[in-house]
Structure 1
Amino acid sequence: MSIISWNCHGLGLPTNVRFLKELVRQERPSYIFLCETIDNKGKIDWISKSLGFDGLVTVDAQGRSGGLALLWKEKDDVELRSFSRNHIDVEVAVEGKDRWRLTGVYGEPDRSQRRKTWDLLRNLARDSNLPWCVIGDMNNLISQKDKRGGALYPNWFLDGFNEVIIDTNLIDMELVGYQYTWERGKGTADWIEERLDRALTNAAWLDLFPMAKLYNLEDTSSDHCPIMLIPEEKMKCTGKRPFRFENAWLTEPMCRQLVVESWEENNMENIQQKVKLCGDNLEQWGHEVT
């Protein structure tokens, strides 16, 4: 069992749909929470069925922004509790486990409206005493360490979100892997990275799933990386992800030179092997450059 949360920034984009399908193929999640779907229910319903998910709750986008979707594998395993333009709240029944609660949250992107997200979490916390997991794009940071680049995050936003976590008795789960989940201006002097996506749980949920781990999946076609919560797995063991060429590399003078050198150095190999070796060299170089 696993839960993926992703701010996809529009399911109307074919690249995002292809990425989501590949993500499901590789990770096989039981639940998926999507923010900023920016699409209608009919399209999301089609995508859900094509991915093999029987359960679906959607919240329509407002114009060309927002929109939420929660997908799950077994239709009868989930019962809807409530929803709004910023959340979907359900109860989950897993065989051999007590019932627990899953809430997908999309924090208000407008800073002037950020208190609405804080009040939403407080109100949801009063609704039930079930083991509870909150996951999504919170659009909030907990500390200045959650941000790299740009101006310091306003302290009153940090204080406000931390007060909510205390008031709701939630615990911020440690993120395994790269510590930032959103970025803007990559490769420029204005490059900013933040950890906007996270999972919060109460003590009862951690008692139910004491070995739970939260991972940054890092690869993305959006400006947000997907995160994956694995409640019962001790160690996430996945194969090496397939090589993907980054268009941003084309702006680097060394890229063309590296391709030419890789190709010429391996001129005795067959075409498939030359492509693989060239890809390996590009991937290693790309990590160093970025």
Structure 2
Amino acid sequence: MSCIVWNYRGLGNQLTVQELADVVQAKAPAVVFLAKTLANKARLEYVKDRIRFDKKFFVQRINKGGGLVVYWKNDILVDVVSSSLNHIDMVINKNSKAVWRFIGFYSEPETHKWHESWDHLRCLHQLNLLPWLCTGDFNEIVKQSEKLGGLKRVLPNIISEHQSAFLKGCLITDNIRVACETLHYMKNHNSGNSAFMALKLDMSKAYNRVEWSFLKVVMTQMGFNDRATIHDCQKVMDILSSYEKVSGQKLNRDKTALFFSKSTSGDMQRQIMGALGVTELKQYEEYLGLPTMVGRNKRASFDQLKQKEAEIIKNIPLSSTNQLDKLIWPFTPSSNYLVKLGYRFLNENSEQSQSSVQDTAFWKKVWGMEVPSKIKNFVWRASKETLPVKKNLCRKKITQDGQCETCKAGEEDCSHALFFSSDVQVMWNMDP
């Protein structure tokens, strides 16, 4: 008898369900346990039918998070003993010689609650002495051989959240700004006796302020010196080695690189690269998908992004089935072309072109007004019907109707709210 256990992180995507169905067909398990389904009862029933299983037991998701489910077939006897948000405990083939116990488990994702998950498992273990298979997602290293030093729990007590890769209230794009600002300063530093070096470790800090003066003060407070020696480089490697042993992780040396300021001599660069055992960061390497430095030729810097986007577009399948190409007229529901439709299209296109010229002149005047930028932005939003008036709120299902609450005379679009509502008319008619 075989089982499939999977933390699926959501069964709402049809491709995800298809992937599960393919795996089930290939492995032919008797039991399937899925954690973090993020699905409701109807969706779980659909998945059961899709993978061609007969029965299920599930733990309902909370709001839009969590959720557990077990599927099995009619040819095995399953007795569900207990369940919670974190587990499903079952006895397989009860009252037979082949009886055994199955627990599908999903540990608390928050590190400060991990001890609660392990206490929970210990309690479950004491309830039954049957042969036991306990499997699932434990959100933690579960074997001592998987880590070095056994000190993984110590890290949260000695490393603050401000030393992590991401900070609350900051975006991943802030990391890009920090890296670009730092490298930009170093690239242009080519005078004086001081020289700078950056060690890229495939990790960064997401600060809200990225000016070099700010970064320099922060790095000074963290213990960085104005000058570094080969001995200091070895100290850095010793610290990284200790970090690997304590965390059980391994530094990705393929993504680790150095960047030197122009004032760093060639001999010093070679000595440092030899001491650290890493390569030099080239000018147009990427960080989080964007070039770390942009020179005068900005087009060359971003050509790779355009090429990637073009490849993604070219790889979009046109159809899941083989279909013959055919000519269509995209401006009618029937897709059929008539001469009168072409004539109408040309006339409308000509009118739009004339209107576009007039719009361009109008917007030049608007953007050229000597008023605060927020007023120009308000005018632009009003003309594009993007203000939160009742009509737009109703269209987005935020309110029940789009009627003007002041005059009850019709829908409240931007024109009505600014010019034609009864209260607004009073103000427009007042003397300046």
**Greater shift in the superposed pair: 67-76 or 15-24:** 67-76
Could you tell me which residue of structure 2 aligns to residue 119 of structure 1? 119
Distance 1:146 1:14 in 2: 35
- Distance in 2, matches of 1:75 and 1:44, equals 21
For residues 172-207 of structure 1, the C-alpha deviation after alignment (integer angstroms, 9 at most, x for no partner) is xxxxxxxxxxxxxxxx935xxx99xxxxxxxxxxxx
The answer on whether the counterparts of 2:91 and 2:99 sit within 8 Å (CA) in structure 1 is yes
Alignment-derived partner of residue 153 in structure 1: 152
CA distance in structure 2 between the partners assigned to 1:86 and 1:146 by the alignment = 24
Equivalent position of 1:142 in the other structure: 142
Q: CA deviation at 1:23?
A: 0.7
Q: How does 1:270-285 map to 2 (within 5 A)?
A: none
Larger radius of gyration: 2
Letter aligned with residue 129 of structure 2: N
Q: CA deviation at 1:107?
A: 0.5
Is the CA contact (8 Å cut-off) linking 1:55 and 1:75 kept in structure 2?
no
| Whole-Å separation in 1 of the counterparts to 2:71 and 2:90 | 11
* Counterpart residue number, 1:29: 29
Q: Which amino acid aligns with 2:105?
A: V
The separation in 1 between residues aligned to 2:75 and 2:44, in whole angstroms, is: 16
Query: Which consecutive unaligned segments of at least 5 residues does structure 2 have?
Result: 157-200, 204-246, 249-288, 290-303, 312-432
Q: Please tell me whether the aligned partners of residues 7 and 36 of structure 2 are also in contact (alpha carbons under 8 angstroms).
A: yes
Counterpart of 2:88 in structure 1 is 88
Q: C-alpha separation between the residues in 2 aligned to 1:49 and 1:5?
A: 18
Secondary structure at the aligned position of 2:152 is classed as coil
In 1, Cα distance between equivalents of 2:117 and 2:75: 28
Displacement of 1:18 in angstroms is: 1.2
Q: Deviations over 1:46-75 (max 9, x none)?
A: 211221111211111112211000111126
Q: What is the SS of the residue equivalent to 2:89?
A: strand
| Structure 1: tracts of 5 or more residues without a match | 158-187, 196-247, 258-290
Match of 1:189 in 2: 202
CA deviation after TM superposition for structure 1 residue 42, in Å: 1.4
Q: CA–CA distance in 2 between the matches of 1:94 and 1:117?
A: 27
Within 2, Cα distance between the matches of 1:48 and 1:102? Answer: 19
- For residues 77-126 of structure 1, the C-alpha deviation after alignment (integer angstroms, 9 at most, x for no partner) is 11000000000000001897421100000010011211221111011011
2:56 aligns to what SS in structure 1? Answer: strand
Q: Give the SS at the match of 1:154.
A: helix
Matched ranges for 1:9-20 at <5 A: 9-20=9-20
Partner of 1:42: 42
Q: Which residue of 2 aligns with 1:8?
A: 8
Report the count of equivalent residues. 168
Structure 2 CA distance for partners of 1:143 and 1:51, relative to 1, 3 Å: closer
Q: Report percent identity of matched pairs.
A: 32
- Post-superposition shift, 1:155? 4.6
1:81 and 1:91 in contact (8 A); partners too:
yes
* Letter of the structure 2 residue corresponding to residue 98 of structure 1: A
2:67 is the alignment partner of 1:67: yes
- Mapped to 1, the partners of 2:96 and 2:8 lie a distance apart of 33
Q: Which amino acid aligns with 1:189?
A: D
- Structure number with higher helix proportion: 2
- Give the Cα separation in 2 of the matches to 1:13 and 1:154: 35
Q: Comparing both chains, which one has the higher relative contact order based on Cα–Cα distances under 8 Å and sequence gaps of 6 or more? A: 1
Classify the secondary structure of the residue corresponding to 2:37: coil
1:113-148 Cα shifts (integer Å, max 9, x gaps):
112211110110111111111010011213576479
| 2:3–2:30 Cα contact (<8 Å) kept | yes
CA distance in 2 between counterparts of 1:59 and 1:75 reads: 23
Contact 1:144–1:153 (CA under 8 A) maintained in structure 2: no
**AA partner of residue 154 (structure 1):** R
Stretch of structure 1 that moved more, 99-108 or 67-76? 67-76
Distance change in 2, residues 1:30/1:143 (3 Å): closer
Secondary structure of residue in 2 paired with 1:32: strand
The structure-2 alpha-carbon separation of the partners of 1:132 and 1:143, relative to structure 1 and needing over 3 Å to count, comes to closer
CA RMSD of aligned residues (A): 3.6
Contact 1:105-1:138 within 8 A present in 2 as well: yes
The one-letter code of the counterpart of 2:43 is K
